[in-house]
Chain A
């Protein structure tokens, strides 16, 4: 009797294992390169799983365009499923990918996870798709490059284009008797002077972790260019290498100089921005997606006139130019190969043709070169200058490390960076921890 029961249990477990295993994998319905499928356009509801602000310009513009398309295609509807909080979105996206239930369109960065999906043929080839729609050449090179995997392949379509600047308060700089830093190496001295002037030197959203990780990327981008992180993520470069050490020691120096607010790791996005816009902090590193909040007449008059920006400073013997810095095109949109059909293609053709002009009319930078950004009526002159800088961007991109490293190393790095800047671990402890983590995890993702 006992044996029979045990056998039943074992059989049950094995059956369950196969059931669970059945959830994984799964190929697409169309070949990733089959961008022009034959057949009739049959309107239906299609969904876009996305991670963008519900009241943001991308969603508003696409909703308007989808409504227009629906007028000529009764029965068509674009259902937007948005989860702006990125960690929550990633959980949802990965769970749906595991269950092979991703919708027609979904957002993703060029992460190692997305690479696996592409390898399985689950996303349409965006290069071929955009070329077949005659739109490939209208996109900014930098906007497409940001979405590419290391081998140059493209599976995501950008919907925005951003430039990340250091916004600063001229009045605070004057009070502290300092100029805009000419080199990244001038940052610690800048912070010391601003602290002496009674100002928080840099406002930082420590809670979301990626803003501090940006600082980790800056020194290696200047000393070695974009190759450092490309090698680092594959464990071909190390944190103990000269470029890595430059970053580690610089971050430690920033912490010692009191660059960030006391308790910065618990400061959220809105609070960090508020520290800067209320005049409590002197510098704020953020992208042009915040232009409407930073270059507007609605801003506190005492701060409004004092705000200016500078781009990522270079260093002595810098491998990259002053006009090369972080210029992301945001999270990209992938097209699910399994559900790709004439309707999806037709809608994308309609939407992507109309999108640039409609999006630029909202005051945003289009990922294409064929649309001029409309400057809002309540914008300060800074707005136009920031927009104009988009046309001056160089060819090399500073990639955000959180989209490059394997997720386990990235999580550990974000944790350890806080400790390094707070002085809880020494640069050498940080280096050995991170090199060990990288060595353990990178091979699982990049073979």
Chain B
């Protein structure tokens, strides 16, 4: 603890990161907000259009809503894999006595592979002509009927682009949740066992409530990352076929840099910011209320 800590010294140390945050995060958000009230192609004069970009986005552009629901689907797959898979893997790791470190490294490996390599890898895995790993495996176990071009089928493309993103960060959330599980006092679990509690009851009544703060943090992280997901879907399908795997983020990017409609793209970016804030509020509301 600092012996002569004052408000001024705290402010001096906090100011640089706050300024950096303001310049790197808040300023672009405000810029996007301002730009969303204009029509601008980047090279001709900007025209003030009021709320017309928002009106078009919410009431006149069916593609936007398609991408919104796709984003929710993408979010669902990512959260299931990252949080569900991460919690399951962390629980299994916690029950292991040998080989934990090796498994942790293996789980974390996808998180350090470059996005481009992951996209390339999954393109091969999903391929139909020539037969990729997934279709090859399905054929080998007699499930030929399920073989399909996963990235080109409008029914499977969204799930196919979501899975690599989910898989990629399972290891990260596994390690975070595993560390939280290690902090659960063994004596409480032992006492519960002596009182006749089964594994499920120990998990739901002791372990999970204990790791709830970490769970809230990981849920917020995974949700906001998924709502901003862009690279893997863009590289794997570029939003296609049709709009089957188009997310708000990829649609926004194309609106800005292909259609050069920076005003409308800014309206979408403002929507993404609001969407993230709403999602975080809901998570805090639901999980904290349960904790009470």
A contact residues vs B (CB 8 Å cutoff): 13, 16-17, 20-21, 24-25, 87, 90-91, 94-95, 97-98, 113, 116-117, 120, 200, 206-207, 209, 261-268, 275, 280, 406-408, 410-411, 415-416, 418-419, 422, 424-425, 441
Contacts and interface: CB of A to CB of B under 8 A. Distances in A.
7 contacts: A25-B43, A113-B41, A120-B43, A263-B126, A263-B150, A265-B241, A422-B241
Given A97-B42, A415-B242, A266 B237 contact: yes
Contacts of B258: 87, 90, 407-408, 410-411
Interface string B146-187: 001111111000000000000000000000000000000000
B128 interface: yes
A298 B61 CA distance: 51
Interface of B: 30-31, 33-35, 38, 40-46, 123, 126-130, 148-154, 236-243, 254-255, 257-262
Given A263-B152, A407-B258, A407-B260, A116 B242 contact: no
Given A13-B30, A20-B34, A408-B261, A418 B41 contact: no
A24 B259 contact: no
A266 B45 contact: no
B204 to A, nearest CB: 42
- Listed from nearest, the 4 A-B pairs whose CB atoms lie closest are A263-B149, A98-B42, A266-B151, A263-B128
B264 to A, nearest CB: 10
A261 B129 contact: yes
A149 to B, nearest CB: 16
A21 B259 contact: no
A264 B152 contact: yes
A263 B151 contact: yes
Contacts of A94: 42, 257, 260
A87 B250 CA distance: 13
Contact of A419 (B149, B154, B238): B154
A419 B129 CA distance: 18
A263 B257 contact: no
Given A25-B44, A87-B258, A408-B261, A263 B129 contact: yes
Contact of A116 (B35, B43, B129, B152): B43
A113 B256 CA distance: 13
A90 B260 CA distance: 10
Given A266-B237, A424-B242, A24 B151 contact: no
A419 B46 contact: no
B43 A97 contact: yes
A91 B149 contact: no
A262 B31 CA distance: 44
Contact of A265 (B31, B152, B260): B152
B263 to A, nearest CB: 10
Interface centre among B40, B237, B257 (most CB of A within 10 A): B257
A422 B257 CA distance: 27
Given A95-B42, A265-B151, A424-B154, 15 more contacts: A16-B34, A21-B46, A25-B45, A87-B257, A98-B262, A113-B41, A116-B44, A261-B129, A262-B129, A263-B128, A265-B241, A410-B258, A415-B243, A418-B240, A419-B242
A266 B149 contact: yes
The residue among B42, B44, B255 with the most chain A CB atoms within 10 A of its own CB is B42
Contacts of A264: 152
Most A CB within 10 A of own CB, among B43, B126, B242: B43
Contacts of B237: 265-266
Given A116-B41, A422-B241, A424-B241, A266 B129 contact: no
Nearest to A263: B149
B231 to A, nearest CB: 13
Contacts of A261: 128-129
A257 B205 CA distance: 60
A416 B123 contact: no
Contacts of B130: 280
